[in-house]
Structure 1
Amino acid sequence: MNPIEGHLPTRSPLHDILAPRGIAVIGASADPTKRGYKAMVGLVKDGYRGDIYPVNPKADRILGIEAWPSVTAIPGNPELALICTPAATVPGLIAECGRRGIKGAVILASGFAEIGSEGAELERDMMAKARAHGVRIIGPNTSGLFNLHHRINLLALDNVKPGDVGIVSQSGNMLLSLALEAQHNGHVGFSTYVGPGNQSDIGFNDYLRYLGEDEHTRVATLYVEGFRDGRKFLEVAREVTAMKPVVVYKSGSTEQGQKAASSHTGALAGSYAMTVDLLKQSGVSVVHQSDEILPVAEGLGLLQKARGKRVAVISDGGGQATIASDRLTEAGLELAELSEATRARLRDVLFPQASTVNPVDVAGSTDANPSLLATCMEIVAADDSVDSVFLVGMFGGYSIRFAESLLGDEMRGAESMVDLSHATDKPLVIYSLYAPIKPPALRRLHEAGLPVYDSIEHSVRVLAALGERGLYLAQNHRQSREMPVAAKPELAELFHRAQAEGRDLYEYEAKELLRGHGVAVPEERLVRNEAELTEAVRHFGAAPLAMKVVSRDILHKSDAGGVKLDLVGEAALREAREAILTSCRAYDPDAAIEGVLVAPMAKKGVEVILGVIRDPIFGPVLMFGLGGIFVEILEDVAFRSIPLSRHDAESMVEQIKAKKILGGVRGEAPVDKEALVELLLTVSRIVEAYPQLVELDLNPVIVGADGYAVVDARVIVARDLPANASDKEAIA
């Protein structure tokens, strides 16, 4: 097994709350239908070692434990209160808890901000009391918590096994589903569970920090409906994923998310795809199916990582080998190319009809000796081209399918696999069609910490997560943050002037900003009158020109008829200018038109888009993808949180499906990817330097073999920021 390394810079204050030495159950009850009863049962039945203080003014004892009429009457020093009473009572009880010195409170009641304005006011009152008295709040509207290594089970769940999977879930039913799945699995156990509820105080980033520090947790697993402070979560995730795996299932994949008509980037931002990209950027393993959560958490907890994505498949059935190969390829994994020496060693132990190319098909060689599968695994694991080994087939069931006498061979094979797992740092993942019935050989593998799955698809998802994590850790170890740049006074003045006039940057101003930081922007001329038009013609000569309207009120120039292309000669430019002005005035009679922008036609190439938004949850985010008019239709884009590392920029270019176009198709030369990477990094630096920049669209950027040209640029300016606002203020 791979050790967990690293540490977080500060200790989470949640340790005292989630592993308390004393618990007050406010609203404790002898009524089996009440949560106050179930919590008491969970604590007593699981043998909680701390002090339990039932609070109920109408009872002397509950489950044999002395009860107290109020929080203030408790004689001891509980660190946590579980509040099982109605919402209206909570603010007053929080004040009492604070006066008693209780550090945290779990609030089960609903009826707060989730129901509307009246509940929101009650929640504000509760939080005011909590801050005044130094009480941290879990919830409200939470399903509760357990910490099984400390025998705290406030949910009174039965048959939940202590283990190393920590869970934070906004759905109580999802926790129940995972608990039942683990019970059926028989080998997965849990450390801590918390339902964050409304996150009125403690949010996902706080819980993740705690799980990152918790010695009993090897993998943190989160079911997320919505983040309260996504940017902070990403920061904490980067710290935690350097030490241990983090698995997230984000619900809401079909929601349209935040929409903004001001830019293409705004229209695509706030999406599920954006959230997934940002989580992966921070090293999080994202699962897209709810039934993948526990298998991936188990696999990452046991195996931690793989060096890369090259997988060797060993199978005792051709059909399943083919299915495994298909799923591996679809998941972005590679079938490792086995060396000739490895294939020769396989031929020495297998029948002549066996296939020794990857996937390896033993072709009946193991029917009389299933332990040969372990030998094959050992052979391929020794190959330097292999990062993970995937056993596919019926191991564990030979003695059931063929003869009971094969059980000894299977057990010897299982022991050899266990020995191999200790001798190699390459993950060994087993799929067996006999896994559901848990035969002895598979039980032995499970007991030794080798994951065994009853689904090829789940196995492949685990292999993908292991490979992604290994590559992330390797790259994260090598990469360093790009140096920021300072704002230039003459360019900052562009924002000051736009803010004073209540507008966004004109296109030529946006390009001036880019040009001032080394971005390749074609030369252009602003034309306000006939004389300037004549001067532009003289300056550019006979080259074909493009003309675009410049107006603070017309964002989508093409829609307004504000763009004319391939113009040659002064007459053509005069006619185009008149047509643009006429069309734009018809489109918006009140539009203030600054003039038209004249520039040489861009060279042919691939159109891409770069965009920036300051997301209300995640802060500044950069988007890159296929550009032009189809960007919102195809949505072939990648997102990263700003600031970018060089690896972030490189991975954005490689992520989009259109990367084959960037690599050159139908005889076209590959585009200059390095220039694209530099452009992404420069835009990231610009956003850091100018907090007044709210949104940016570079669409299209024409990329060719020898660089790029920014054809169109749009910068949305903050209306309510002072000229000297800091980046932190802009993001808040």
Structure 2
Amino acid sequence: MTSGSTESTPAIHKSPLHDFLAPDSIAIIGASADPTKRGYKAMVGLIKGNYRGRIYPLNPKVPEILGVPTYASLDDIPGPVDLALICTPAATLPGLMVECGRKGVKGAVILASGFRETGPEGAKLEQQVLDAARAGGVRIIGPNTSGMFNLHKNVNLLDLRNVKPGDIGFISQSGNMLLALVLEAENNGHVGFSTYVGPGNQTDIGFNDYLRYLGEEENTRVATLYVEGFRDGQRFLQAAREITPVKPVVVYKSGATEMGKKAASSHTGALAGSYEMTVDVLKQVGVSVVRHSDQILPVAEGLALMQQARGKRVAVIADGGGQATITSDRLSDAGLELATLSEATRKRLADILFAQASLANPIDVAGTSDADPEVLARCMEIVAEDDNVDAVFLVGMFGGYHTRFAESLLGGEMRAAEAMIELARRCGKPLVIYSLYAPVKPPALRRLHEAGLPVYSSIEHAVKVLQALAERGLYLQRQHGLPLQESVAPREDMLAMFARAQNEGRDLYEFEAKSLLRAHGVAVAEEFVAHSADELAAAAAQFGEQPVAMKVVSKDILHKSDAGGVKLNLVGEAALRTAFDQIMTSCRAYDANADIRGVLVTPMARKGAEVIVGVVRDPIFGPVLMFGLGGIFVEILEDVAFRAIPLSRFDAEAMVDQLKGRKILAGVRGEAAVDKAALVELLLKVSSIVSAYPQLSELDLNPVIAYPDGLAVVDARIIINRAMMSV
């Protein structure tokens, strides 16, 4: 039961993983007659699963296993081998990879552990295995993997029982998470799987490769991933950009991206590498992120069945006031909206509901359905026809009326279920049902589920599905097809500036950082660098009666205010000289050995809303841009948004709208709203600058003062990427 279309197969290069994840022949290296061994269980899974391809068990000690003749080695197998399941210890793998290459094996599932997860020696062994595999053209799943299955091909190398073929593809770094979802699907009764792979160490094949495969795999309607760590986040983001317009992608990311955290000296560096950053960059490319493990299967099922909603406006139909209130709270928490029903819709509802019913959304039928559950289907039809409604959510006890009130109501519930099914087929909007009777699976709910309408036993799960549908629909409408911001052309004078900083063993001075911004179209206030007190007369003449700020210029003093290196609201040469002397005295006291090159004099910025713009080069996802409320509160409030560079215009606009403190930017207590367009342009320009200069490691523009008529970059800091300076 879909809402919207599933678009056609992506126009991308066919993944080589099809050659062995849907194999016509499988060798079991280390096949065993011992029922406790994986080499035996894999045989059982294939035989009982009615695998129609050729099975080649390798075991020189016995003539057959489970009635299948064995072979002493790969060389003895008479036909081609698409996939090898290797059940032998880690030390045997380099030699076996050579044999697999000689035989022409396309892919190998390596179950063994004892590689890089054990330390340097294990890492060395893992590299040897990879080198041998690449030399022979063999692709590796694992090592340290739980295995794989392809249920539409009847390949079940895990010997899992009671798992049915379906349309959810699952890639999981946790074998126990697979088992949890399989048991949950068994209890659900209507959910099945297409392909499962445990990527293990991702020595060869990474999440980006598996995602491309699932994007092409014809039996998969939603790609679902449990991720503990990406090895190449940038490639994964690129794969997701290509796949999410075609199929929904659901990701549960466990923990924070600890690899991205470091003792950074910039605000941005301190905030990046977080779990929230990972969530933001995944959502940026259309991924549906779930934060709780019990949301994985409900969201995957809901997206597989309904694909998307056109927006966030939900009509709620409830048969109880308490659950209607809970639903409203959860919808608000999820960033969804209660749809404003048209007068025509409200009138049509009034014609079929009791006088005491609430016609405002959420709609409380106030007992009308107690003796006539079919009225719920009529209500759903009425609100689904309202152009102000993007999705319909039925909340309450539907399916249990014949149990709660009278057995004679069963017929009415079944007729209502059929009416809901027909409505879903023709209305093009998601219909989602929560019922407190869902756990006992009464006939009407079973019928709905069989027909492809998801039924949930948790309001929270249902709301998460509605959120995922809305976010996917809006992403497809607004983001897909928008060009990413192109990089600027790097200037020779700016490259020379980076080289000078590198030679002197320092990061860019503030005035240099601002010159980079100015060179590429960012409006930065004029400034004057005074290397000595004698140059202050020229600074005073340049700025006249305009109040200015004075800041120390030193590679050794990172936090200028803490060192007494900032003076504000200065007017005239005398004030500049006094401030200069005070700054020098304070900074010498702060760090007697500091290399002080003078002071920066720049006009005072007028009052406005402070924001921060920052960039880090995350080791997983590459360059990532941050935007948030600025000033001294950035690390206290942590109200920030992240996007991977390069950005689209939609990305930049969404960053501004994402902040919890966006009302400050929209104007509060009589203040005028800031110039949002100017902020968006700044984010896009920073994205294009960072793309052009790999020498830039971290950037902090903090604060940037946003005004109703533009903005001012008050402070700028750029940390250079010394590893890139020789490039």
Q: Which of 421, 427, 430 is matched with 1:427 structurally? A: 430
Aligned twin of 1:206: 209
Aligned twin of 2:671: 668
380-389 or 669-678, which deviates more:
669-678
| Deviation for aligned residue 1:569 | 3.2
Aligned twin of 1:170: 173
51-60 or 333-342, which deviates more:
51-60
1:55 aligns with 2:58: yes
Aligned twin of 2:355: 352
Aligned twin of 1:82: 85
Q: Which of 367, 372, 377 is matched with 1:369 structurally? A: 372
- Cα deviation 1:556-614 (Å, max 9, x = unaligned): 22232221222233333222222222222333333221111011211111111001111
Aligned twin of 2:226: 223
Structure 1 distance, partners of 2:635, 2:263, is 12
CA contact (8 A) 1:107 1:138 kept: yes
Aligned twin of 1:699: 702
| Deviation for aligned residue 1:719 | 1.6
Aligned twin of 1:111: 114
CA contact (8 A) 1:8 1:212 kept: no
Aligned twin of 1:729: none
Structure 1 distance, partners of 2:351, 2:643, is 49
Structure 2 distance, partners of 1:482, 1:45, is 53
Aligned twin of 1:16: 19
The letter for the 1-side match of 2:490 is: A
1:521 aligns with 2:524: yes
Structure 1 distance, partners of 2:480, 2:182, is 35
| Deviation for aligned residue 1:312 | 0.2
Matches within 5 A, 1:264-413: 264-413=267-416
Structure 2 distance, partners of 1:116, 1:561, is 48
Aligned twin of 2:248: 245
Q: Which of 7, 14, 19 is matched with 1:5 structurally? A: 7
Structure 1 distance, partners of 2:17, 2:559, is 50
The letter for the 2-side match of 1:92 is: G
Unpaired runs of at least 5, structure 2: none
Q: Which of 486, 490, 511 is matched with 2:489 structurally? A: 486
Pair 1:601–1:123, CA change in 2 (3 A): same
| Deviation for aligned residue 1:653 | 0.4
Structure 2 distance, partners of 1:70, 1:518, is 66
- Cα deviation 1:32-89 (Å, max 9, x = unaligned): 1111111111111101110001111211101110011112221221110001111111
| Deviation for aligned residue 1:722 | 4.6
Aligned twin of 1:532: 535
- Cα deviation 1:685-708 (Å, max 9, x = unaligned): 111222211111101101111111
1:545 aligns with 2:548: yes
Structure 1 distance, partners of 2:119, 2:259, is 23
294-303 or 32-41, which deviates more:
32-41
| Deviation for aligned residue 1:485 | 2.2
Q: Which of 415, 419, 424 is matched with 2:418 structurally? A: 415
- Cα deviation 1:136-155 (Å, max 9, x = unaligned): 00000000001000001111
681-690 or 188-197, which deviates more:
681-690
Pair 1:195–1:572, CA change in 2 (3 A): same
Name the % identity: 72
Structure 1 distance, partners of 2:565, 2:91, is 59
| Deviation for aligned residue 1:501 | 2.8
CA contact (8 A) 1:306 1:387 kept: yes
The letter for the 1-side match of 2:397 is: M
CA contact (8 A) 2:554 2:594 kept: yes
Aligned twin of 1:728: none
- Cα deviation 1:323-346 (Å, max 9, x = unaligned): 111100111000000000001111
Structure 2 distance, partners of 1:362, 1:427, is 21
- Cα deviation 1:130-178 (Å, max 9, x = unaligned): 1111110000000000100000111111000110000000000001000
The letter for the 2-side match of 1:35 is: R
CA contact (8 A) 1:672 1:706 kept: yes
Aligned twin of 1:236: 239
The letter for the 2-side match of 1:634 is: L
Matches within 5 A, 1:474-623: 474-477=477-480, 479-623=482-626
Aligned twin of 2:31: 28
Secondary structure of the structure 1 residue equivalent to 2:196? strand
214-223 or 530-539, which deviates more:
530-539
Unpaired runs of at least 5, structure 1: 726-732
1:66 aligns with 2:75: no
Pair 1:269–1:20, CA change in 2 (3 A): same
CA contact (8 A) 1:561 1:580 kept: yes
| Deviation for aligned residue 1:483 | 4.0
Q: Which of 651, 655, 661 is matched with 1:652 structurally? A: 655
186-195 or 556-565, which deviates more:
556-565
Aligned twin of 2:103: 100
The letter for the 1-side match of 2:5 is: P
Pair 1:559–1:72, CA change in 2 (3 A): farther
1:260 aligns with 2:263: yes
Structure 1 distance, partners of 2:387, 2:724, is 56
| Deviation for aligned residue 1:259 | 1.9
Q: Which of 680, 688, 691 is matched with 1:688 structurally? A: 691
Aligned twin of 1:142: 145
Q: Which of 126, 130, 133 is matched with 1:130 structurally? A: 133
Structure 2 distance, partners of 1:721, 1:362, is 66
- Cα deviation 1:352-399 (Å, max 9, x = unaligned): 111111111111111111011000000000000000000000111111
The letter for the 2-side match of 1:249 is: Y
CA contact (8 A) 1:259 1:268 kept: no
CA contact (8 A) 1:429 1:459 kept: yes
CA contact (8 A) 1:8 1:240 kept: no
1:438 aligns with 2:441: yes
Structure 2 distance, partners of 1:412, 1:374, is 9
Structure 2 distance, partners of 1:640, 1:81, is 40
- Cα deviation 1:637-660 (Å, max 9, x = unaligned): 101111111111000000011101
The letter for the 1-side match of 2:146 is: S
CA contact (8 A) 1:257 1:272 kept: no
Structure 2 distance, partners of 1:164, 1:481, is 32
The number of equivalent residue pairs is: 724
Secondary structure of the structure 1 residue equivalent to 2:597? strand
Structure 1 distance, partners of 2:125, 2:558, is 43
CA contact (8 A) 1:296 1:465 kept: yes
Structure 2 distance, partners of 1:76, 1:684, is 54
CA contact (8 A) 1:25 1:82 kept: yes
Structure 2 distance, partners of 1:320, 1:217, is 35
CA contact (8 A) 1:504 1:715 kept: yes
Q: TM-score, normalised by structure 1?
A: 0.97
Structure 2 distance, partners of 1:383, 1:618, is 42
Structure 2 distance, partners of 1:416, 1:721, is 64
Q: TM-score, normalised by structure 2?
A: 0.98
CA contact (8 A) 1:8 1:213 kept: no
**Cα RMSD for the two superposed structures:** 1.3
Structure 1 distance, partners of 2:5, 2:518, is 49
